[in-house]
Structure 1
Amino acid sequence: MTIDIPRDTRTEAIASIERYFQENMEERIGNVTAGALLNFFLEEIGPVIYNKAVADVQERLQTRVMELDIEFHEDELQYWRKSDRQRKGR
Structure 2
Amino acid sequence: MKKTLSKEERQQMLSDIQRFFYDTRGEEIGELAAGHVLDFIEESIAPHYYNQALDHAKTLLDDRLASVTEELYVLEKQLKR
- Bin the TM-score by the shorter chain: 0.7 to 0.9
Considering only CA atoms, is the larger Rg found in Structure 1 or Structure 2?
A: 1
TM-score (norm 2): 0.84
1:35 aligns with 2:35: yes
| CA root-mean-square deviation | 2.0
Structure 2 counterpart SS, 1:45? helix
Aligned counterpart, 1:64: 64
Aligned counterpart, 2:16: 16
TM-score (norm 1): 0.77
Q: Distance in 2 between matches of 1:68 and 1:15?
A: 45
Give identity over the alignment, percent.
27
Aligned counterpart, 1:50: 50
For CA contacts below 8 A with separation 6 or more, give which structure has more relative contact order: 1
Structure 1: runs of 5+ lacking an equivalent = 81-90
Aligned counterpart, 1:74: 75
Aligned counterpart, 2:6: 6
Moved over 3 A (4+): none
Compute the displacement of 1:69 (Å): 2.4
How many residues align? The count is: 79
